[in-house]
Amino acid sequence: MDGVINILKPTGMTSHDVVGFIRKNFKIKKVGHTGTLDPNAAGVLPICIGKGTKLSQYIMEKEKSYRCELIFGKTTDTLDSYGKIISEKLIDPIDFYDIEKTVKTFIGQISQIPPAYSAIKVNGVKLYEKARKGIEINDIPIRTVTIHNINIISYEFPRLMMDIRCSSGTYIRSLVRDIGEKLESPSYMSLLIRTKSGEFKIEEALAIEELTEDILNEKLTSLKDIKLNMQDITLKSSASVSYINGSYVSQKGLKSTLCEYQAEENVRVFDELGSFIGIGKIREKDSVKYLKGDTLLI
């Protein structure tokens, strides 16, 4: 069994819990998730099975979409509703125009400090392990992320509901904190639902309670049907063995036209019979493009 199953992760379960559930209940050895979704968050969690685990890194790096609720007036140590209140401020209702104007300033490439309660490792130790011990954390690495769009769904002070489309690696809790700070109000995230992860949508996600072996077989997205937002490229039969053995393949060994692809672009590689054999990368040397294997699925 090879492919990806789109799971609707419930609150209270970790991503690892979902992997363990599938591995145990369906006796599958190779199972992996495509990036941690906070235990207190719900939503889309693509789970890779068999050879699908080789595609997890590519699914993980795709953009994500979330529905998020922000509460003005207080903040917590975890930046969500499960933490301890550490700051509270009595404020007047914030004008919607000011919120709308402020939210727009976060669209684009931004610098972000992840929450202290996160799985990011510093010197080999996860931040949340330090935070739970009460250790002051001053060395959280700043990361650069991209917010593609923020759409305000509703606002009734102190609650603000937003849909957010962003790059992989974005911490929505940090975004909520930063929006609040810019509006001079403490804030925290009271709700988070991931509505999309790459090509996997919440409308098509399966609740873990309804998962059976028959449904798993029926709803499993095959390797060939996982698009990964990549172009396809086809090898000639004469070049397949060389490609599989790690050699560079020039235009001579391809049915596709190399000039149509960008250097350093990842592509889905097919053999002449239409079998999906893995992910390749377009390389360029002395203005000549080649195809080189990146991940094999055979």
Catalytic residues: 38
H helices then E strands: how many in the chain?
A: 7, 18
Cβ–Cβ < 8 Å for 180, 89: no
Look up residue 249 and give its DSSP letter: B
Give the three-state DSSP class for 244. helix
| DSSP H or E run through 108 | strand 108-112
Quickly count: other Cβ atoms within 10 Å of residue 124's Cβ.
Answer: 5
Look up residue 1 and give its DSSP letter: -
CA distance 28 to 91: 53
Cβ–Cβ < 8 Å for 126, 184: no
CA distance 221 to 289: 32
How buried is 28 (Cβ within 10 angstroms: 0-12 exposed, 13-18 middle, 19+ buried)?
Answer: middle
The residue with tokens 């002070």 is: 157
